[in-house]
Structure 1
Amino acid sequence: MPPTTTAPDPLTTTRISTAILNLLLPHHRTTDQPHAPAEAFPHQLRRIADFVRADAPVVLTLPGFPCKSPNPAKTLGHLPDMGERLSLTFLDTLCAEIEEIHPPGAQVVICSDGHVFGDLIRVPDEHIDAYADELRAQIRKLGLRHLTVFDLRDVLGDLPHDAKRAHVHDRYAPALDALRAEVRADAPTLALYRGITRFLVEDTADHAGSTRSALQRECRRRAYGVIQRSRAWGRLIADHHPRAVRLSIHPQPVGAAKFGIRLLDAPDVWTTPWHSVALREADGGWTLMPHARARRLGRLVHRDGRPSHYERA
């Protein structure tokens, strides 16, 4: 007769789920007051408890790691560098810590979304492919066994990139009028819209033939498209990973359905490894910052024949 397994009792499930969430809370990326208790995140607690109750690995999905900003004043090039390596290692270490209190462990599915809005952020599709391929290579090389990468190629195969974008947009994106109304009425959505607009302006390294005000108008228009596609990608991910705990690289309010997570220290809550470079401080710590600033503060270090990061001089 096959052995039977016994699900944890409700108190044990709650205790383990709370302990797992407490590992995430120090890294919560939010513009709200920090240090909210686990009880303030009922959505995440319910999702985690489902995995604990089933004695299964906790699956966390993280849309992000799309591609490098095309602005050389912000990044070192179009391939992942030390910023990504540190962030991937951090995520894998977080999963290993979860494994210590929940033996089935945890898995982060990095949902690389560069192709979803590559045309809007003006990054060539071949650079986006190269970036995602290098992410996978780094995960293998570093032995990060808790991480996987998921992108549009896993969903729509070898279709042309424009056809993939059109498919995702048509099936999943919210209507533009509804999104405009939400931006007017909802403070977090307005903050997201402004943050994306700022990134689009900053990422346009050369806007010859266009005034600054014309560039800002165009980037405001494109920001709506980026949010539409980002929402569409989120809905597609939910279709493929319906039970997962949803992480976000954007700041999220306490108690939101998405849990904002900070990958590395940065002076701005919107900073990501793909919009910046990593600077190693004299004490051994790391900070993300624009390439132009890191170049003033430190010396460039190469790794595997490519620019990797800066070390403070």
Structure 2
Amino acid sequence: MPPTGTVTPNTPAVEQTCAAVLELLLPHRRAADPDTPAPVDAFPEQLCQIADFVEAGDPIVFTLPGFPCKSPSPAKVLGHLPDEGERLSLTFLNDLCEAVRGVYPPGARMEICSDGHIFGDLIRVPDAHIDAYSDELAAVIRREHLHHLSVFDLRDVLGDLPHDEKRARVHARYAPTVEELRAEVKADDGTLALYRGITRFLIEDTADFTGTRSALQRECRQRAYGVIQRSRAWGDLIAEHHPRTVRLSIHPQRRGTAKFGIRLLDAEDAWTTPWHSAVLHRRDGGWELMRRSDAERLGRVVLRDGRPSHFETA
């Protein structure tokens, strides 16, 4: 089987099916170039990835790095376990896989590649909280009967080794150097936007810093390079363990890149995720991600199974 990205849909039936699958993704695209028209033929990389499965008649496999852990900032989230934001997002992803079956009978499945342990030391979240978050993700998938989804994390790769040792092994084998990243940030607008976005999140999520604001900014800029290093390392590890896949991302992506950015829930900021926010149930029936502190001003907290789950407009 040729490697992903090299297959060209060479029959009208394959082309039509690949286009139909991609059309299911396009309405949910998280774009780094939102003002640029995005027809199906603007995504040759994704069409090739999908064609790899369609030509063989195999179920399509999506991989989505993300769902790492909750932000450590109590101003953003309700706690350290998945809540309604994760439940709605996982249900959406499962429904998306189910919709694929409507245009391609072999269907699709999705590996949620939970990356919390990769970053735990850099984002200052205890490994025990990350384990609890990942375990609850798997429990949500079971309870909600989301049969198209599964969770993949470092425990599937390195078992019960100490978390620091796992991080060190992955970093040493896969991560680019800081010097390489600094050069890329200077040369590439997309990497610069990612670096700035991660720096902003790290500043917002640091609640116990005792130094000056400028010192916090310097420290978070340094940590941001580490987060990008680990993110690249995690991506390469996923590619090694899932070499044949349609690659999704929760970060905004430009057309023509190997990853397709996907939006999980509505939010004003394209960088907002369920693990950096709480979810508000609006009067019109819609759901929106926002900071917990903002959601508290707009609604009342709702419990699910005895835990805070989301906010509901009063």
- Please indicate, yes or no, whether the TM-score normalized by the shorter chain is above 0.5: yes
Counterpart CA distance in 1 for 2:161 and 2:286 is 43
Deviations 1:4-48 (A, max 9, x none): xxxx97110110000000000011101212550010000000010
Percent of aligned positions that are identical: 70
What TM-score results when the alignment is normalised by the length of structure 1? 0.96
**3-state SS of the aligned residue for 1:39?**
helix
Q: Distance in 1 between matches of 2:88 and 2:192?
A: 30
RMSD in angstroms over aligned alpha carbons?
1.0
Alpha-carbon distance between aligned partners in 1 of 2:45 and 2:110, rounded to the nearest angstrom: 18
In 2: Cα distance, 1:9 partner to 1:222 partner: 46
How far, CA to CA, are the matches of 2:78 and 2:128 in structure 1? 17
Gapped regions of structure 1 (runs ≥ 5):
1-7
Quote the Cα distance in structure 1 between the aligned partners of 2:99 and 2:145: 16
CA contact (8 A) 1:26 1:35 kept: no
Q: Deviations over 1:91-111 (max 9, x none)?
A: 000000001111111011000
Counterpart position of 2:272: 271
Amino acid in the other structure paired with 1:15: Q
Residues 34 and 272 of structure 1, relative CA distance in 2, 3 Å threshold: farther
Moved over 6 A (4+): none
**In structure 1, what is the equivalent of residue 91 of structure 2?**
89
- Measure the CA separation in 2 of the matches of 1:71 and 1:117: 16
How far apart, in 2, do the equivalents of 1:219 and 1:290 lie?
A: 20
Kindly tell me the number of residue pairs found equivalent between the two proteins.
Answer: 305
Equivalent position of 2:71 in the other structure: 69
Residue 114 of structure 1 corresponds to 116
2 CA distance for matches of 1:157 and 1:118?
17
Q: Is the 8 A contact 1:25 1:35 kept in 2?
A: no
Partner deviation per Cα, 1:33-89 (whole Å, 9 max, x = no partner): 255001000000001011011111110100000000000000000000000000000
TM-score (norm 2): 0.96
Structure 2 residue matching 1:117: 3-state secondary structure: helix
Contact kept in structure 2, 1:81 and 1:307, CA below 8 Å = yes
2:57 & 2:250 partners in 1: Cα distance?
28
How far apart, CA to CA, are the structure 1 residues paired with 2:205 and 2:313? 25
Corresponding residue of 1:226? 227
- Equivalent residues of 1:193, 1:227 under 8 A apart: yes
- Looking at structure 1, the residues matched to 153 and 37 of structure 2 have their Cα atoms a distance apart, in angstroms, of 33
Cα displacement string for residues 138-163 of structure 1 (whole angstroms, at most 9, x for unaligned residues):
00000000000000000000000000
Q: CA deviation at 1:243?
A: 1.2
